[in-house]
Chains A and B, each alone.
Chain A
Amino acid sequence: MPQAAYVLHRRDYQESSLLVDLLTVNEGRVRVIAKGAKRNKNPWRAVLQAFNPLQVEYSGRHDLKTLTLAESPGTPLSLSSHYLYSGFYLNELLQRLLPQYAEVSELFLAYESALSALAKKQDIETVLRWFEWQLLQQLGHAFDWRSEAETGITLDQQAHCYFDPERGFLHENPMPDATPLDTQLVMSLEQLSQQPLVSDQVLDPAQRKLCKLIMREALAIHLGTKPLRSRELFKR
């Protein structure tokens, strides 16, 4: 049975083939060989592009599968400029953080809805922060936006709180150089948990700034020291 998939990344493999990392709806991230995909007349050359909704089948008993079918039933999403760079950012996050064959069908839906939001030119920062939060949740690294991580009691809106990427929000300062955060603003970010992303959902500038800071720290502990290269494209 064919299943829905997107190309996350592809690279040349031998003379005429491609090594393709797919995000599939049923099996998560899967690496396949597309044999002969680089040949001139091969339809896969055009089909196996990132951000193109695909139906795929593959076979094989080992980790590296052989692609046997790839079609694009719909029209590819047209992403341009910063929306396109954002698409690369989503792909890079998944390539770096999602283990192969992790079953994450909800993440697939989140990816799809983030891409279509980008194609519709929704606010980029809202889309990216929403997807980052969905990814953290699916990977089991979620934290609670409303409760104190130490005590489990609802955060006190009158007091400042601090973010510890491994645990969540604390009223006690965990590290000497942690920045005090506006608790009310932190609690308002719980809206990122809703599925799917709705078209009128837009973070205001203060929320965006805070959320970017929190997500950077939360992702950093899983990304290690190697920086995300797609961030460079946004520097202009």
Chain B
Amino acid sequence: MAQGLSPAIDALVDDLKRLPGVGQKTAQRMAFYLLERDRQGALALSASLQQAADRVGHCQQCRTLTEEALCRICANPARRESGVVCIVETPADVLAIEQTSQFKGRYFVLMGHLSPLDGIGPADIGLDELELQLKQGPVEEIILATNPTVEGDATAHYIADIAEQLGINTTRIAHGVPVGGELGYVDQTTLGHAFSGRKQFSR
């Protein structure tokens, strides 16, 4: 979009607009901030962008984003040999689960979910690769942590079918009421899941 200031600034603004949630105004603000007040930061940003875009690829084992052949989690022998694989849709889900520090196994990142109406089939989310890995390595348990959407459910069922054929125990993370929430405001489906998946209350 020609703004008329200068070709270099226009190009910068246009490229910033690629970012999610960034429109014309925000992109302009970012561009002027970098140019007026933080040239050093601008250079650092461009260098790290360059580096990340050049080097970051996918982990050979779990498909998450990394610049190594194996990501840090897959490279950790304790986690690799734990025999537990957690299946998630995106690298952001890996970070979210890592922050709970509850999980000591490794991950498999689908980079999406099954969605036949969008033309996304099993091969597009690496399920053939997952099946291969499950056949090779000793895996005792699969934890399904796909999103609680219809597509996430379909993906979970499909993977559970694979695991069943291979005789691998499959669990799915519980759906429940958020901490600090009020029951009256929770949607019925979540509340229904929370009820059907209730646990023994231990004192």
Contacts and interface: CB of A to CB of B under 8 A. Distances in A.
Interface of A: 8-9, 11, 15, 43, 46-47, 49-52, 72, 75-76, 80-81, 84-85, 87-89, 91-92, 95, 228-230, 232-233, 236
Contact of A84 (B20, B118, B150): B150
11 contacts: A8-B117, A9-B118, A46-B190, A49-B189, A51-B150, A84-B153, A85-B157, A87-B150, A233-B122, A233-B154, A236-B165
Contact of A229 (B121, B150, B189): B121
Given A51-B150, A84-B150, A85-B154, A9 B117 contact: yes
A232 B114 CA distance: 10
* From A50, A72, A87, A228, residue with most partner B Cβ within 10 Å: A50
A92 B114 CA distance: 13
B175 to A, nearest CB: 11
B21 A81 contact: no
B81 interface: no
B161 interface: yes
Nearest to A228: B116
B187 A229 contact: no
A81 B121 contact: no
A46 B189 contact: yes
Contacts of B41: none
Nearest to A84: B154
A80 B122 contact: no
Contact of B116 (A43, A49, A80, A229): A229
A72 B190 CA distance: 13
B188 interface: yes
A37 to B, nearest CB: 12
B192 interface: yes
A55 to B, nearest CB: 14
